[in-house]
């Protein structure tokens, strides 16, 4: 692949990190860097541009842990996603691979490792830190993740707005559709997630949140 043709998205809500990473990688490889500070902006970029790779932080404000990764891999399967995170434990890396992420790069990694990891993923391989092997990583079934992957992009967006506590009327206004449409989306969401109401749907989404580090 011609490296000069690369379009890579850095999806992270910290502008200083995005800027520093972009500047560091500019000295390692040639690419056009696009920036997203949230899941909604990332979705817009993917719908409007031909993207070669996404560097995804799992803890953006409008994202719910692994849910964004699951959504991207379900609806943009041709776009490889590499998770970048300050969480460097094997559980986080295991779930990244389980949800079909093409790689995991610790935020503490030097620029040369970022560049090497990106190239490895673009070459069709999976990247994990050199101190780990796939045998070190556990795999377990996750029914919630599988069900979430079945949601359409619009249903996923509505579920996120449920999690924000918005009413059907507010969601309908923001999405410029009728309340009846939102109710229809809600019914489909509940069916696909195997739940009965909004509260249970939000709880299911929250199961994909990352464990918080102890202070």
Q: How far is CA 126 from the centre of its chain?
A: 16
Per-residue pLDDT, 1: 43
Per-residue pLDDT, 139: 53
Residue range(s) occupied by CATH 1.10.10.10 in the chain: 143-214
Predicted TM-score (pTM) of the model is 0.72
Residue range(s) occupied by CATH 3.40.50.2300 in the chain: 6-138
> Which residues lie below 8 Å from residue 148, measured CB to CB, with a gap of 6+?
67, 70, 71, 156, 193, 204, 205, 208
Cβ–Cβ < 8 Å for 44, 55: no
Per-residue pLDDT, 118: 94
Tokens (6 digits) for 61: 């404000």
Provide CATH code, domain 143-214: 1.10.10.10
Question: Is 128 exposed, middle or buried, given 0-12, 13-18 or 19+ CB atoms closer than 10 A?
Answer: buried
Tokens (6 digits) for 139: 């795999």
Per-residue pLDDT, 153: 87
| CATH class assigned to 6-138 | alpha beta
Tokens (6 digits) for 184: 């229809």
Cβ–Cβ < 8 Å for 90, 138: yes
Over the chain (215 residues), the average pLDDT of each successive run of 10 is 73 94 90 92 92 93 85 91 89 86 92 93 88 58 76 90 92 93 92 88 80 41
Per-residue pLDDT, 209: 75
Ordered DSSP codes for 94-140: HHHHHTT-SEEEETTS-HHHHHHHHHHHHTT--B--TT--GGGS---
Q: What is the distance between the alpha carbons of residues 27 and 173, in angstroms, rounded to a whole number?
A: 45
């Amino acid at each position: 692949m011609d490296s000069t043709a690369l379009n890579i998205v850095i999806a992270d809500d910290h502008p200083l990190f995005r800027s520093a990473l972009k500047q560091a990688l500019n000295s390692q490889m040639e690419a056009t860097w696009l920036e997203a500070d949230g899941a909604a902006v990332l979705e817009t970029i993917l719908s409007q541009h031909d993207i070669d790779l996404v560097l995804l932080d799992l803890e953006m404000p409008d994202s719910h842990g692994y849910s964004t990764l699951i959504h991207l891999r379900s609806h943009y399967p041709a776009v490889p996603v590499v998770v970048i995170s300050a969480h460097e434990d094997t559980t986080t890396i295991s779930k990244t691979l389980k949800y079909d992420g093409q790689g995991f790069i610790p935020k503490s990694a030097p620029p040369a490792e970022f560049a090497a990891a990106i190239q490895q993923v673009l070459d069709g391989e999976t990247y994990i830190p050199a101190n780990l092997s796939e045998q070190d990583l556990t795999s377990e079934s996750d029914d919630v993740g599988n069900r979430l992957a079945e949601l359409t992009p619009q249903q996923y967006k509505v579920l996120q707005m449920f999690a924000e506590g918005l009413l059907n009327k507010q969601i309908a206004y923001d999405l410029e559709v009728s309340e009846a449409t939102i109710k229809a989306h809600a019914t489909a969401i509940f069916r696909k997630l195997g739940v009965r109401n909004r509260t249970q749907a939000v709880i299911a989404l929250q199961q994909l949140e990352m464990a918080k580090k102890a202070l």
